[in-house]
Amino acid sequence: MSETPLLQIENLTQHFPVRGRGHKVVHAVDGVSFAIGRGRTLGLVGESGCGKSTCARSIIRIYEPTSGHVRLDGQDITRLSQKQLLPLRRKMQMIFQDPYASLNGRMTVRALIGEPLRAHGAAESRRDEEDRILRMLEKVGLTREHAGRYPHEFSGGQRQRVGIARALILRPELVICDEPISALDVSIQAQIVNMLRDFQQELGLSYLFIAHDLSMVRYISDEVGVMYMGQLVEHSPAEDIYAHPLHPYTQGLLASIPVPDPSLARLQDEEGLSGDLPSPIDPPPGCRFHTRCPHATGCCREEAPALRNVGGGHAVACHLV
Residues that bind ligand SF4 (CB under 6 A): 247-248, 287, 289-290, 293, 295-296, 300, 305, 318-320
- Minimum Å gap between C-beta 280 and ligand SF4 is 17
Closest to 8 measured CA to CA, from 36, 32, 30, 31: 36
- Minimum Å gap between C-beta 266 and ligand SF4 is 24
Residue placing its CB nearer to ligand SF4 in the complex, 72 or 300: 300
Residue placing its CB nearer to ligand SF4 in the complex, 57 or 247: 247
- Minimum Å gap between C-beta 304 and ligand SF4 is 8
- Minimum Å gap between C-beta 286 and ligand SF4 is 7
Q: What are phi and psi of 92, to 5 degrees?
A: -125, 125
Distance separating alpha carbons of residues 167 and 251, to the nearest angstrom:
34
Distance separating alpha carbons of residues 214 and 38, to the nearest angstrom:
22
Residue placing its CB nearer to ligand SF4 in the complex, 47 or 173: 47
- Minimum Å gap between C-beta 239 and ligand SF4 is 22
Question: Length of the chain, please?
Answer: 321
- Minimum Å gap between C-beta 283 and ligand SF4 is 13
Residue 51 burial (C-beta neighbours within 10 Å; 0-12, 13-18, 19+): buried
Residue placing its CB nearer to ligand SF4 in the complex, 199 or 289: 289
Q: Do the beta carbons of residue 296 and residue 288 sit within 8 Å?
A: no
Residue placing its CB nearer to ligand SF4 in the complex, 65 or 230: 230
The arrangement of strands across the sheet holding 206-211 comes to: 92-95, 174-178, 206-211, 41-45, 223-228, 231-237, 315-316, 308-309
The angle, 0 to 180 degrees and rounded to 10, between the axes of the packed helices 109-119 and 126-139 is 120
Residue placing its CB nearer to ligand SF4 in the complex, 168 or 293: 293
- Minimum Å gap between C-beta 268 and ligand SF4 is 19
- Minimum Å gap between C-beta 282 and ligand SF4 is 17
Residue placing its CB nearer to ligand SF4 in the complex, 91 or 290: 290
Distance separating alpha carbons of residues 60 and 209, to the nearest angstrom:
14
Residue placing its CB nearer to ligand SF4 in the complex, 141 or 272: 272
User: What is the maximal distance between C-alpha atoms in the chain?
Assistant: 68
Closest to 16 measured CA to CA, from 29, 24, 25: 25
Q: Do the beta carbons of residue 316 and residue 310 sit within 8 Å?
A: yes
Distance separating alpha carbons of residues 59 and 140, to the nearest angstrom:
26
